[in-house]
Structure 1
Amino acid sequence: MYDRNGHPWTFSIFLYVLPYSKMKYLELTLDQKQDTLFKCLYHAFKYTGGIPNEIWFDNMSTVVDHKMSDFHHHKFNERFQSFSHDANYHPIACRPFRPQTKGCVEALARTMSRLKPYNHEFDTLAKLNEIIENLRERLNHEKSQGNNQIPIELWQKEKEYLRPINPDLKRYFESVQLRKVSKDAMIRFQNHQYSVSPNYIGKEVEIKPLDDKKIEILFNGVAIRHHKITNYQFNYDPRDKRAILKSDLMKDKTDEEINQYILNDLSVYDQIGD
Structure 2
Amino acid sequence: MVEVDWSGKHMEIVNIDTGEITKIHLFVACLPYSQYAYVEPTLDEKQDTWLRCHIHMYEFFSGVPVKTVCDNLKVGVVKHPKEGDIILTDAYEALGSHYVTAIMPTGVRKPKQKSSVEGTVGKVATAIIAKLRQHTFYSVYELKEAVSKALKAFNNAPFQKRQYSRIEVFEEERSYLRELPKVPYEVAGWEYNHKIYPNSHVCIEKNYYSVPFAFVGQYVDAKLTDSVVEIYNNHKRISTHPRFPLYVSNKYSTHKEDMSDAFSQPEMNDIRLKQWAASIGAHTSEVIERIFKSVTIKEQGYNSALSVLKLSKSYSEERLEAACEIALPMTRVPRYKQLKSILASNQDVIYLEKKSAHLKTVESNTNSHGYIRGSEYYGGGRYDK
Aligned to 2:129: 115
Partner of 2:156: 141
Q: Matches of 2:29 and 2:103 in 1, distance apart?
A: 14
- Structure 1 match to 2:186: 171
Does 1:218 find its partner at 2:247?
A: yes
Structure with larger RCO (C-alpha < 8 A, sep 6+) = 1
How many angstroms apart in 2 are the aligned matches of 1:30 and 1:221? 31
Deviation, 1:10, is 0.7
Alpha-carbon separation, structure 1, partners of 2:87 and 2:179: 27
Superposed CA deviations along residues 174-211 of structure 1, whole A, max 9, x for unmatched, are x89xxxxxxxxxxxxxxxxxxxxxxxxxxxxx99559x
How many Å separate the matches in 1 of 2:159 and 2:245?
43
What is the CA-CA distance between 1:63 and the residue it aligns to?
1.3
Cα deviation for residue 162 of structure 1 reads 0.7
The one-letter code of the counterpart of 2:81 is D
Decide whether the 8 Å contact of 1:3 with 1:120 is kept in 2: no
Give the equivalent residue in structure 2 for 1:13: 26
Residues 1:208 and 1:48: Cα distance change in structure 2 (over 3 Å): closer
Q: CA RMSD in A?
A: 3.1
Provide the identity percentage.
20
Q: Any conservation in 1 of the 2:67–2:104 contact (CA below 8 Å)?
A: yes
Partners of 1:146 and 1:172 in 2: how far apart?
40
Structure 2 residues not aligned, in runs of 5+: 1-11, 191-223, 229-243, 253-385
Q: Which residue of 1 aligns with 2:358?
A: none
- Greater gyration radius: 2
Q: Give the direction of change, closer, same or farther, for the CA distance of 1:8–1:99 in structure 2 (3 Å limit).
A: same
Contact 2:47-2:75 within 8 A present in 1 as well: yes
Over residues 220-264 of structure 1, what are the superposed CA-to-partner deviations in whole Å (9 max), with x where a residue is unaligned?
Answer: 2549xxxxxxxxxxxxxxxxxxxxxxxxxxxxxxxxxxxxxxxxx
Structure 2 matches for 1:82-121, cutoff 5 A?
82-110=94-122, 111-113=124-126, 114-116=128-130, 117-121=132-136
The residue aligned with 1:70 is: 81
Q: Distance in 1 between matches of 2:77 and 2:163?
A: 34
1:28 offset after TM fit, Å?
Answer: 0.8
Total equivalences in the alignment? 188
CA distance in 1: counterparts of 2:15 and 2:187, whole angstroms? 36
TM-score by length of 2: 0.43
Q: Helix, strand or coil for the counterpart of 1:168? A: coil
1:79 Cα offset (Å): 2.3
Shift of 1:137: 0.6
In structure 2, the partner of 1:151 is 166
